[in-house]
Structure 1
Amino acid sequence: MSQHFINSLLFGIYPYICLAIWLLGSLIRFDREQYTWKSDSSQLLRRRQLRLGSNLFHIGVLIVIGGHFAGFLAPHWMVSPFLNASQHQFIAMAAGGSAGIVAIIGLSILLYRRLSDPRIRINSAHADILVLVILWLQLALGLSTVPLSLAHMDGLMFETLSTYVKGIVTFQSVANLIAPVPLVYKIHIVLGFTIFLISPFTRLVHIWSGMATVAYLFRPHQIVRKR
């Protein structure tokens, strides 16, 4: 199997497979299994750790996701009058790195809480633990790209990745752009699309509810009343 074929498969075809399953799978689940369209709460068990970890993770990851969309999808003509490629990369690296640290600290608390407490672990589906591990790895991979970015502050890598993401969104053949990119970026990209792939089959599907309403950002905590 040639390197060119693997590159085309992982970065040219696989992203569309993941996105198609994400969209169609979410629609089918919403149509057929609406009662499973949620993130099961374990607030009744060790509430304090849940509040701290959940708040840190959600605040951090929302900034990370928003930064990815704004950084990679913003049109060049909109950004270039204010920032050159190097400055754009530095802002993305500083904001994304800071938010990523907050998110991974929160997620580490949630993962420790779920694995260390026998009561929570026995009430956790395997998919719940798998999702937390995958998200933790994805955040760790994202943070590991910061030193690489610091070593290459010319903005070329950022521009390459931005062009690739824009190409995927606009259905252009851009898989060849990823060939010279360091391995950590490649794994980060593949795992990122894999998260889209598994979302319709896990608790991650509840993200759609957050995307559907701005009020999600100001929602109160779920309250579990004691008898």
Structure 2
Amino acid sequence: MNTLHTIAFTVYPYVCLAFFLMGSLARFDRDQYTWKSDSSQLLRAGQLRWGSNLFHGGILFLFFGHLFGQLTPHAVYGLVMTSSQKQLLAVIAGGVAGGLCFIGLTMLLHRRLFDPRIRLTSHRTDIAILVILWVQLAIGLSTLPSSLRHVGEPTTMLRLAEYLQGIVLLQPNAALVAGIEWHFQLHILLGMTIFLLFPFSRLVHVWSGFGTVAYLFRPYQMVRSRRLNVPARQNLPRRAS
């Protein structure tokens, strides 16, 4: 079990990141026409609009919240808040965003599974990735009661943050996640698995979403008007009436 734990939390993260980066590049190079999210907006448009807005708004908040919340060193955020305050903020903000995201994703999943026309045009990978994301959100929400109980002594949060920072710095330490509650460990492993599956699913369109930010920094396009040489109107003789 110790060996399996070490492989899962030391080797597996880098396998997932390698597939995430190299797989995305390979798909963009070889299958650019699949680099999109298939649209079914003409069917159940109302449910799609509500579900999509709730899901995308919530998932973006959760992504950047995890990114900056877990990877920001304690010495940096310690200038403005304590560890307990940070954990309480994460529980409240993450709980609200996670709940909205969960509702939106449930609406999208229900729409794709129970509408025969949408189900017929859906790829198996579309349904599979939605189910995986739904389970991941459910596990994440299940960690909130434990996180709330540990606000006074946020040892688990600090250990998880140190572990993830070690992954980024190429200094993984699987011992940091040993002994913590099982749903935290499962949440980490399933999150890594999503990175592994990313290039093989419709999630690759996320790259295009982030890529649109580059348009904010593009120089203006110069458009010059071209004057057409229109011949002067000739005075033709009129026929006598």
TM-score calculated relative to the size of structure 1 = 0.92
Q: What letter corresponds to residue 112 of structure 2 in structure 1?
A: R
Which residue identity does 1:175 align to in structure 2?
A
How many angstroms does 1:215 deviate by?
7.6
The residue correspondences of 1:183-202 to structure 2 (distance < 5 A) are: 183-202=182-201
Larger CA deviation: 16-25 vs 69-78: 69-78
What is the match of residue 63 of structure 2?
65
Matching of residue 176 in structure 1 with residue 147 in structure 2 = no
Instruction: Give the C-alpha shift of residue 77 in structure 1.
Output: 2.0
| SS of equivalent to 1:180 | coil
Aligned to 2:143, what secondary structure does the other structure show?
A: helix
CA shift for structure 1 position 176? 1.1
Q: 1:1-227, aligned counterparts within 5 Å? A: 3-153=1-151, 154-214=153-213
For residue 226 of structure 2, what is the aligned residue in structure 1?
none
**Distance in 2, Cα, partners of 1:147 & 1:203:** 32
Say which structure is richer in helix. Answer: 1
Structure 2 CA distance for aligned equivalents of residues 4 and 103 of structure 1: 35
For 1:68, give the aligned amino acid: H
Aligned equivalents of 1:215, 1:48: Cα separation in 2: 31
Structure 2: gaps (5+ residues)? 216-241
Residues of 2 paired with 1:76 and 1:211: CA distance?
Answer: 28
Distance 1:4 1:29 in 2: 36
Q: Give the partner amino acid of 2:7.
A: L
What is the aligned residue count?
Answer: 214
1:110-163 per-position Cα deviation (integer Å, ceiling 9, x unaligned): 000011100000110110000110000001110000001112111111101110
Which residue of structure 2 aligns with residue 224 of structure 1? none
1:90 Cα offset (Å): 0.7
Aligned-residue sequence identity (percent) comes to 54
* 1:220 aligned partner: none
Per-residue deviation, 1:198: 0.4
* Matched residue type, 1:110: L
Is the Cα contact below 8 Å between 1:164 and 1:178 reproduced in 2?
Answer: yes
Query: Would you identify which runs of 4 or more consecutive aligned residues in structure 1 move more than 4 Å?
Result: none
Aligned residue number for residue 225 of structure 1: none
> RMSD of the TM alignment (CA)?
1.2
Partners of 1:180 and 1:212 in 2: CA distance:
40
In the alignment, the residues of structure 1 paired with residue 92 and residue 214 of structure 2 have an alpha-carbon distance, to the nearest angstrom, of 28
1:60-103 C-alpha deviation (Å, 9 max, x unpaired): 11001110011001122210111111111111111111100000
Supply the distance in 1 between the matched residues of 2:172 and 2:210 (Cα, whole angstroms).
28
Partners of 1:51 and 1:111 in 2: CA distance: 13
The one-character-per-residue Cα deviations of 1:151-185 (angstroms, maximum 9, x if unpaired) are 21111111011101100111003111111111001
TM-score calculated relative to the size of structure 2? 0.87
